[in-house]
Structure 1
């Protein structure tokens, strides 16, 4: 009968896994860092997590670019075809520089608890005029209204303990893993002493890699503690309190077998327990454990029948409660091998580059018709990390762990004893809690969302008082360029509607009208669109915002020598002219005024995105004063000055009608000065809004912001076009706040741009339009002396031939360099990532 209980649990888990197969995402980027104005080229791979095959579950994939503060500056919807898709994100609207997070998820991935999605942080640097300029990230003087991403207050040094299996039992020896983190350096390696509850020295302990390590320990009645010294200070950390009774689990991961032992203390002999083995959320096998009146039992599990990657050994009771959870890594039995070559080691400017690749299996047979994405980068200009994340590591390891993992491929480069122990420590610290197995056994973990097999516009209609509006006629019109798409539907009994937009590409201006049958006028109602699903903002890890780039592959002296010979050959053939003196005015240092602006910046807001999010959640914003106060709680509106009567001109006596911390705000729209009364009802025409302090003294210029371009020009009046002086119509020039507003091109202050009864105006996003990467062909095209490309070649849709080979030809940019080849291959359930430097011919990144 007991065996039937566990068989039923196993059947429930199998049914759940088959009914609700989870998905995982990996994004392959053309580069590792970017500058403002660059473009991020992306190839997406989405797999079924149960069998690692390319997924056909979801069609739309959502990719978001969030700045360091957490503001989403761009969102793309990628159309997946058999689990693959591509997109390009131009960084023309990346207003801030810093460490940006790229997140990728399907709606189906967000339906489970806990949520799983792809996340990677990439640096975006300030624009630079020349290749010789150092890369920089701006410092901004932002106020607290812009601080959105959560920040964890860390102690100077913290140490966290993770007992093997999840718990400590008094008198039963257990392995305990630990992780040590410093506030100012992130994960740090330490040495210390383990003391028992009476202060007696038990053993020295030391971390093995990246702040993580482990030790064996038999707990007593009171917690033991670890004492370490860090930067001249002593720290004491107590271990978790041990329970009086229960189970502990220990696993030794051998090459072909998992040697498992379970010990118990003070539990009923008749309590049935079983070992379940899961790969991700899919059950593989189970064994009922028979203690035979003993307090320990051992079991060997052959790894040949287990799926490669992270598996979980679960000790489960008869009602499906997980008692112990022990993650283990199963090494793959199959391999993919890649052979790469280039025609030269170092390339002069604009020189032709030929790259050849060949992929074979363990049997040396070619891997035919395999899909791969590939980038070729300028080695000198690239940021590079040797053991960075890749498609192999992501699907086998990183996606199964919690938090950021620095240089994850480091753990998979070989199988020596020390590396295996480091990987085991990593799993004990970071692999617990990825799946809610108790809910999987019970079937209670029902997904919040269902898979999307097409792109749809969905939403609800509510009255202004929040009542759902059923059987309401809802018509819509989408306008994109010169094309129109219109339709009508009736809300159902829950006030919901659904519109298929699977053929929409790009962004379309949209009008949604609500009207009741038999009524002449539109219905005042709130249209709430269901498009704001996304993972919650996470805290960025210290290492993510302080990346350490390797400089192992680049032989700068050799490259400089080749470059010197090249430049000398140009000089020998050059024509020498007489000396010429050029007279001209000294230009204003652009970098200086941009730095001044960054320091004086108070806030930058994507108004259109903010308004859509508010209205989609049923929070209406009707005018500018209301918008300003919701954007920034430091802004105050003096309602006694806010009158419909005086709209003829901006009255300097009422300059304190809207203030920032008691400082009057002066408004500029598209670089021209206006009174706020002239734009108060035009919030649907506003694209972005920027606040900055103007304390530059006798400065007659105003900052203009367009995308990530910051320029200055002479202040002008909107109505007359006359240049203004530096008074800003307020008394103290050195104490002013400017609100710079960017609007749609057709905004007109003398036209009524207010809301229309019963019509929701918004912008609906369709699939991202595929773009082609342009790689110059200098044999046929004119040489471009300003070619500063760092990514020389990008192709997301390459395919091996019948010999398993690929050959690509491209041309170098204007800098002498070796080249770095980065390619990701995914064929059925086999993945491979390769990185190759043309100078050192250094090949790394193992296969799955």
Structure 2
């Protein structure tokens, strides 16, 4: 009998452990693969036709909560109001960061478009982590909002039982959400709760975001009515659902800074069914978890679990309760505040003139910061992003809904703001992760993790044994010599730009280059993207600008409204794109058009004429300085005494290129002594571009890459006709700085134009190398020291 009694206890215990292991295994497997979370910081969200959308891309790796070190291909898609894709750009992401721009040309004729940032790898997962932002286009006179619309038809009044359901004969906590037709919260100073007989039994309020909560004891089969009166006198109501007769409820108290309290309640009718059963309380956030057990007793209807917040991961955590059959029955999202989530910056004005302002951004952290800043007129109406970086990286990976004004909750955090944030999470319901997927539908790799663009090619006939295929593109940093296998070759993980060129040639024993035109195929350079239905549905009730724009055509100077203006002029050294360091001071410069040479002379011949010592060593070209030189390092094998650069790409380890680089293909050469510990001399060779060389006899064939990575332009401020006109003051652009990097406990100083503004607003977003987040709004004034 003792053995039998022991077995009766052991079997349920073993089943419990096996089932809990099954939860953990399924959960770990589901979140094993890395997930990407993109965020775009836009210079603004409302644009005139003729302007550019400027953006900085940040991509977080969800498991580490840091910048994604390996992702590279980010697709930026624009959709019209019907969800049709209008344009798409492929952006290169390096160490989790990229930038770009999109021209708003004359084809943008609608008032609204949607900008989406996503990767192919993201499509392997059931949850959508793509970034989506609505942008507004000012194309002509806007219509006034139709005030005749019946506002009562557009309010949103919802109730959210904490945990997911209501149980009778016990206390239930209900989250309250009230919004207007523009998705903005409605403050209710006094709402009432009535029972089925119309008797007021309780009152409730909502904050400025339309959020509140109310505790109610539910009688059996009782339905309560919540009533609220809007400022315009309209009475809105919402009824509770019919309570369950058997079950448990959950209430989370998250007001204590050190402890998290989870309270469970049930009723007398449920006790016989719950007696001795053990429920599992699983607290998780996709990369970490902990569990607690809750065993019910026949004489107790109330239970509590206390969690030390130090043991919880910073940020969002999800509490899921499983019954004895390990079915999820309750869920609640919470936020665990810790300072380690955030970095801080200080913004200080240094000085100002009539037309510009100099200021500095101070990094107050011990981590390197990567930032971007948008500068707009003080009275701007053009900056209304749906998400800042807080919302994108802290909340969106876990919740289904939207966090309105995340900056409010997470800037200058205090007890009231954390209470408001907890109310918001209460009204989010269950998380975006479906447990049926976690248990039964693990992600499958239908889409490969992309890293650049792979180019595969085929020659029309195999090369001879003494021939090699030369591939070069200064625009795309490609310098390759290959021996194709039966005429087939591959260039993996390239980052070729759209509208760029690749040159191909064949080199034999005679070291003469012959043209060759291979057939090429490229890996994926575009992505099929769709706009989720919930975004297209919103368009029907979209709020218009409610602002009349007159004489729009006079906003820009005439030349600025053209889609593209190209101006060609002769450049001097200071105007040369990416001139080498020392071009004006200690390097010598030789323009080939002023240099007499024969058609067979190469760069090697030129360097010999400049007294460089050049010889062959075991078939390799060796170039030594014109005079004796010693380095502080003895690692000569990897640090050549003379470093060569072709179109700003170093070719010091591929000097064979100079043997066949004829001077008639070279525009100019810089050479001379450098003052560093890595080499004695530098040689910079600049070749003619395809356009410049088209009239010359070429030994290379050129292939135009029509689709590839978008090449980010340097920011320019549009030239507006007036900087005091309301069109500029409300919707214009002052400045955009996407590439701010600040070392630990250091600062970044620069100057921005004022454009006749007394005050400008700076919107700064960013992240540290350890994943700490920055989102800050700051006003700079011409007259004050702030």
Shorter chain as normaliser: what TM range?
0.5 to 0.7
CA contact (8 A) 1:275 1:288 kept: yes
Residues 279-678 of structure 1 mapped to structure 2, 5 A cutoff: 279=285, 281-293=286-298, 294-317=300-323, 319-334=325-340, 335-344=342-351, 348=354, 351-361=355-365, 367=366, 369-380=368-379, 383-384=382-383, 389-430=387-428, 432-440=430-438, 442=439, 444-447=441-444, 449-455=446-452, 502-506=494-498, 531-539=527-535, 541=538, 545-546=542-543
Residues 153-187 of structure 1 show CA distances to partners (whole Å, capped at 9, x for unaligned) of 99344421110001111112111012223447754
Distance 1:119 1:34 in 2: 17
Match of 1:263 in 2: 265
Distance apart, 1:101 and its partner CA? 2.0
Equivalent of 2:760 in 813, 819, 830: 819
Structure 1 or 2, whichever has the larger Rg, is 2
In the superposition, the TM-score normalised over structure 2's length comes to: 0.62
Equivalent of 1:82 in 80, 92, 95: 95
Distance 1:26 1:112 in 2: 18
Distance apart, 1:822 and its partner CA? 2.4
Residues 243-298 of structure 1 show CA distances to partners (whole Å, capped at 9, x for unaligned) of 1212211110021111111223423324331111111x234211122234433321
Q: Verify: 1:797 aligned to 2:739, yes or no.
A: yes
- For the structure 1 residues 375 and 232, does the alpha-carbon distance in structure 2 shift closer, same or farther, using more than 3 Å as the test? closer
Aligned CA-pair RMSD? 4.4
Distance apart, 1:210 and its partner CA? 2.2
Distance 1:822 1:770 in 2: 21
Distance apart, 1:327 and its partner CA? 0.7
CA contact (8 A) 1:10 1:286 kept: no
CA contact (8 A) 1:369 1:801 kept: yes
SS in 2 for 1:336: coil
Distance 1:229 1:793 in 2: 44
Match of 2:225 in 1: 225
Greater alpha carbon shift after TM alignment, 290-299 vs 828-837: 290-299
- For the structure 1 residues 449 and 123, does the alpha-carbon distance in structure 2 shift closer, same or farther, using more than 3 Å as the test? same
Distance 2:425 2:88 in 1: 33
CA contact (8 A) 1:162 1:178 kept: yes
Distance 1:431 1:499 in 2: 49
Residues 524-544 of structure 1 show CA distances to partners (whole Å, capped at 9, x for unaligned) of xxxx99932334243365899
- For the structure 1 residues 156 and 137, does the alpha-carbon distance in structure 2 shift closer, same or farther, using more than 3 Å as the test? closer
Residues 420-477 of structure 1 show CA distances to partners (whole Å, capped at 9, x for unaligned) of 332122112225241113432x25232464452325699xxxxxxxxxxxxxxxxxxx
CA contact (8 A) 1:97 1:138 kept: no
Match of 1:113 in 2: 126
Match of 2:617 in 1: none
Residues 14-163 of structure 1 mapped to structure 2, 5 A cutoff: 15-16=28-29, 18-56=31-69, 58-126=71-139, 136-137=141-142, 155-163=153-161
Distance 1:408 1:825 in 2: 15
Match of 1:773 in 2: 715
Residues 718-757 of structure 1 mapped to structure 2, 5 A cutoff: none
- For the structure 1 residues 179 and 784, does the alpha-carbon distance in structure 2 shift closer, same or farther, using more than 3 Å as the test? closer
Residues 792-847 of structure 1 show CA distances to partners (whole Å, capped at 9, x for unaligned) of 4333222114642111123333x333222222231121111222211299999xxx
SS in 2 for 1:343: strand
CA contact (8 A) 1:276 1:283 kept: no
CA contact (8 A) 2:92 2:495 kept: no
In the superposition, the TM-score normalised over structure 1's length comes to: 0.58
Residues 178-205 of structure 1 show CA distances to partners (whole Å, capped at 9, x for unaligned) of 2223447754334432112343321122
Distance 1:206 1:407 in 2: 20
Match of 1:237 in 2: 238
Distance 1:304 1:840 in 2: 45
- For the structure 1 residues 89 and 201, does the alpha-carbon distance in structure 2 shift closer, same or farther, using more than 3 Å as the test? same
Distance 2:225 2:369 in 1: 54
Match of 2:632 in 1: none
Match of 1:698 in 2: none
Match of 2:9 in 1: none
- For the structure 1 residues 245 and 415, does the alpha-carbon distance in structure 2 shift closer, same or farther, using more than 3 Å as the test? farther
Distance 2:713 2:544 in 1: 30
- For the structure 1 residues 508 and 225, does the alpha-carbon distance in structure 2 shift closer, same or farther, using more than 3 Å as the test? farther
- For the structure 1 residues 227 and 795, does the alpha-carbon distance in structure 2 shift closer, same or farther, using more than 3 Å as the test? closer
- For the structure 1 residues 14 and 53, does the alpha-carbon distance in structure 2 shift closer, same or farther, using more than 3 Å as the test? farther
Distance 1:450 1:47 in 2: 19
Q: Report runs of 4+ in structure 1 exceeding 6 Å deviation.
A: 498-501, 547-550, 589-592, 783-789, 840-844
Distance 2:323 2:783 in 1: 54
